[in-house]
């Protein structure tokens, strides 16, 4: 009987995760079972359960991969290596959008965000993890945005880009969007400040008029 090493187990686990991820992208989360994942790579369902005790554990491992990808790309920001000033946002966006690998997580994350049920189920804890991750992402961007209140909008903007790429509605090479996005958000802040200044000036003028006998 062949002996299975730790490396063999890790390689098999990686194959199972890759199979699950691909099927979820093709069919959607709710149309993929453990049996489907096993069949796609020539394994039995029991063999998959030897690595993941449940479908929820398998999905949790996939979500961990997504969390690790985002964390690795945001590491320079978390460690204070992104710098400060107008170029910090551009660098952070460039690190996040480098390559197209993040788009592979869109189907899973989208399905978990949209998940709703009347009672606790295997997906509810995973959805809670996604929501915590979204809040962490907002907090991370708030550090490099001149107006922290724009962080939520930027996260939504990035999610739209990733989703469009995952559905093949946007070209590959999302990193090219980093400069344009950074300029857009810096320009938005400058415009808002200018508008605020105009309103303040108008208010002051109005006040002087009213105070004039």
Total of domains in the chain:
2
CB 85 within 8 A of CB 6: no
Give Cα separations from 108 to 29, 122, 168 (angstroms): 6, 14, 16
Q: 99 and 173, same structural domain?
A: yes
Q: 10 and 101, same structural domain?
A: no
Residue 29 has pLDDT above 70, yes or no: yes
Domain that holds residue 103: 55-211
Residue 203 has pLDDT above 50, yes or no: no
Give the residue from 177, 139, 172 showing the smallest Cα distance to 155: 139
Q: 22 and 60, same structural domain?
A: no
Q: 17 and 72, same structural domain?
A: no
Q: 190 and 102, same structural domain?
A: yes
4 band by pLDDT with thresholds 50, 70 and 90: low
Q: 43 and 100, same structural domain?
A: no
pLDDT of residue 100: 75
pLDDT digits 0-9 by tens, 49-80:
999 999 999 999 999 999 999 999 988 887 77
Question: What's the predicted TM-score (pTM) here?
Answer: 0.80
Q: Assign residue 23 the CATH number of its domain.
A: 1.10.10.60
Q: 43 and 105, same structural domain?
A: no
Q: 43 and 62, same structural domain?
A: no
Q: 207 and 133, same structural domain?
A: yes
């Amino acid at each position: 009987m062949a002996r299975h090493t730790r490396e063999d187990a890790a390689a098999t686990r990686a194959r199972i995760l890759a199979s699950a991820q691909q099927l979820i992208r093709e069919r959607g989360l709710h149309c993929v079972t453990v049996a489907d994942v096993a069949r796609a790579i020539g394994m039995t369902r029991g063999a998959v359960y030897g690595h993941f005790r449940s479908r929820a554990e398998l999905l949790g491992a996939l979500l961990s991969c997504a969390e690790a990808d985002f964390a690795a790309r945001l590491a320079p920001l978390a460690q204070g290596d992104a710098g400060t000033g107008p170029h910090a946002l551009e660098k952070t966006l460039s690190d996040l959008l480098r390559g197209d690998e993040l788009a592979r997580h869109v189907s899973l994350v989208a399905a978990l965000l949209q998940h709703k049920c009347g009672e606790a189920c295997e997906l509810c804890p995973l959805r809670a993890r996604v929501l915590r991750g979204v809040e962490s992402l907002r907090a991370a961007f708030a550090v490099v945005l001149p107006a922290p209140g724009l962080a939520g909008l930027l996260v939504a903007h990035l999610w739209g880009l990733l989703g469009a790429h995952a559905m093949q509605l946007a070209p590959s090479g999302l990193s090219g969007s980093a400069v344009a996005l950074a300029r857009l958000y810096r320009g938005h802040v400058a415009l808002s400040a200018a508008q605020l200044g105009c309103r303040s000036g108008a208010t002051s003028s109005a006040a002087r008029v009213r105070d004039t006998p």
